[in-house]
Amino acid sequence: MKAIILARVSTEEQMTEGQSIPAQLARAQEYARRKSLDVISEYQFNESSVKDRRTKFEKVIDQIKKSKDKIILIVETVDRLQRSFKESVMLDELRKQDKLELHFIRENLIIHKDSNSSEIQRWDLGVFVAKSFVLQISDNVKRTFDQKLKKGEVTGKATLGYLNTADEKGNREIVPDPDRAPFIVRIFELYSTGNYSMERIVKIMKEEGLKSKMQNILKIRQIEFILKNPFYYGQREHKGQLYPHKYSPLITYDLFRQCQKVRENYPKKPHKYSTKPYIFRGLMTCSRCGCTITPEIHKKKYIYYHCTNYKKNCEKIWVNETELLKPIVKLLKGLKMPQARIDEMVQSLKTTEQAKNEFQEIQIKILRQEHDTIEKRISVMYNDRLDGRISADMYDQKLREFKEALYDIAFKTKQFDNANSTYYVTASIVLSLAQRAEEIFESSEPEEKRQLLNFLFQNLQLDGKELLYKLKTPFAGVLYANTHHSLGEIWELNP
């Protein structure tokens, strides 16, 4: 009689590292010789027996169906053939048609057309035991995963910017990748400004040398995945919910949130001039109609700006970029001040410390009250869920909202805790930048000049040929203080 040998393992590791496949084949071949069976095919593969679609197993069944002769299928044990009852229907049908005999070597069991109820029950029992084993493994995996989730641990490969490590005892850990982590931070910082598209960031990362763990250049979809991944600020996502993890975050929650705002508001289609080195690109609007001011190159070297006149009710007036820069440079010169006055400003800030500390204490108290209120709401909502007053979907949705609110409160509280040092450092940085703004601007490339203007100014407008501008609050205060009042008074008015 003709026979087919089937040898199977569940994982790739068993296939490459273990000896289960050769051992199964050797015993099956010896069995066939003892029974004087003609082996026409041998199937050896790694395929889970609980998959919805078992492609390789189906090839074996297909050969049996096409055969004109009855086939004996030789298998080491029942669980090597199946670990669920879904295959039993198909196999039993072939058995009843006398097209198939199942020979299980280790169980010393043969299932054929005329098998009695006891033999069929032994087959079913073998499948039941195999299925129970699979379910037990599944339960153990779920329990282990839930335990790790509660501890803030992550299984599997670390995301880009982190590395999987292990100590001498074999304890596994995830740590920031010293080579790639700085690139991840830079991606968030660039995108948060709103001045860089994902396509532009891809080019910058390529130029600066960032590659994936497979040494490939990153694509736009990978940059998008990085920007959307909460793991980088301390959370991991599982089934639509966020859970804190124990590993070192690379960025702050505030930076992550800023990137999400930029991503949500970013134009779907990039402007045709978005990659050109225009200093005022995307920074100006028309004061008369509100449309965008767009740049164009004339004679391959002169840059002019004009209103797009999208609303068809505005006059198109051409303005040379050189003329637009003149008031900007003049204003930057006005920001510069002697070091003595900067020192005076920093000293003045220190006199306001008591008022600042009182303000911080009040704000922290308010945040703690908000935290306690949300915790109470979560407790009440949990009882409502247990009593069936709200659905599981509503519970999950509100819980997610409450958790985000708690995280936001924790982030704001941490900001207040660290405010004492950053309060003075920030003021010193703003003043130092103001002092060197003209120098930095003159020595920068067009794209860097554009970023500096975006940092210093707000609501740039073009009224005919006249540039209308407004400095952002800290720098407006510095400019006014440099020509009118004392620095300390201005800073207190415009902190």
Q: Of the candidates 97, 38, 116, which has an alpha carbon nearest to the alpha carbon of residue 72?
A: 38
Q: How confident is the model at residue 30 (pLDDT cuts 50, 70, 90)?
A: very high
- Report how far apart, in Å, the C-alpha atoms of 490 and of each of 345, 348, 427, 456 are: 9, 10, 12, 17
Instruction: Write down all domains in the chain, each with its CATH number in brackets.
Output: 2-144 (3.40.50.1390), 162-265 (3.90.1750.20), 281-291+319-495 (no CATH)
**Least confident among 42-56, 149-163, 179-193:** 42-56
pLDDT the model gives residue 495: 42
Kindly tell me if the per-residue pLDDT of 226 is higher than 70: yes
More confident residue, 54 or 11: 54
**Predicted pLDDT at 375:** 87
Q: Can you spell out the DSSP letters for 298-357?
A: ETTTEEEEEE--TTS-S----EEHHHHHHHHHHHHHHH---HHHHHHHHHHHHTTHHHHH
Sign of the torsion formed by the C-alpha atoms of 18, 22, 28 and 30: negative
Give the count of alpha carbons within 13 A of 311, CB side only: 12
Residue 418 has pLDDT above 60, yes or no: no
> Measured between alpha carbons, how far is 244 from 251 in angstroms, rounded to an integer?
14
pLDDT at 54 over 60: yes
pLDDT digits (tens, 9 = 90+) for 428-470: 566 667 777 788 888 888 878 888 888 788 788 999 889 998 8
Torsion angles phi and psi, residue 460, rounded to 5:
-65, 130
> Average pLDDT for residues 269-281, to the nearest whole number?
61
Mean pLDDT of 157-162: 89
pLDDT of residue 270: 44
Q: Which has the higher per-residue pLDDT, 464 or 155?
A: 464
Q: Output phi, psi for 275, to 5 deg.
A: -100, 0
> Given a cut of 70, is residue 220 above it in pLDDT?
yes
Name the band, by pLDDT with cuts 50, 70 and 90, for residue 416.
low
Could you give the CA distance from residue 292 to residue 310 in angstroms, rounded to a whole number? 8
Question: What mean pLDDT comes out for the span 214-218?
Answer: 88
Q: What is the CA radius of gyration of the chain?
A: 35
Each residue of 227-246: pLDDT tens digit? 999 999 988 887 777 878 88
Q: What is the pLDDT of residue 426?
A: 56
Residue type, 296: E
| pLDDT confidence band for 271 (50 / 70 / 90) | very low
pLDDT digits (tens, 9 = 90+) for 277-303: 688 887 888 888 888 888 888 887 888
The contacts found for 397-404 with CB under 8 angstroms, 24 or more apart, are 399/241, 400/240, 400/241, 400/242, 402/374, 402/377, 402/378, 403/241, 403/242, 404/242
pLDDT higher than 70, residue 20: yes
Q: Taking the chain, what is the end-to-end CA distance rounded to the nearest angstrom? A: 93
Contacts with 225 (C-beta within 8 Å, 6 or more apart), sequence order: none
- CB–CB of 329/467 below 8 Å? no
pLDDT digit string, tens, across residues 312-350: 888 888 999 999 999 888 888 877 776 776 677 666 666
Q: What is the pLDDT of residue 265?
A: 67
102-116 residue pLDDT tens: 999 999 999 999 999
Within a 10 A sphere around the Cβ of 341, how many other Cβ atoms?
15
Counting Cβ atoms within 10 Å, is residue 174 exposed (0-12), middle (13-18) or buried (19+)? Answer: buried
Taking alpha carbons only, the member of 81, 74, 97, 163 closest to residue 130 is: 81
One-character DSSP codes across 165-184: EE-TT--EEEEE-TTTHHHH
User: Is the pTM here over 0.85, yes or no?
Assistant: no
Q: Which tokens sit at 432?
A: 């130092």
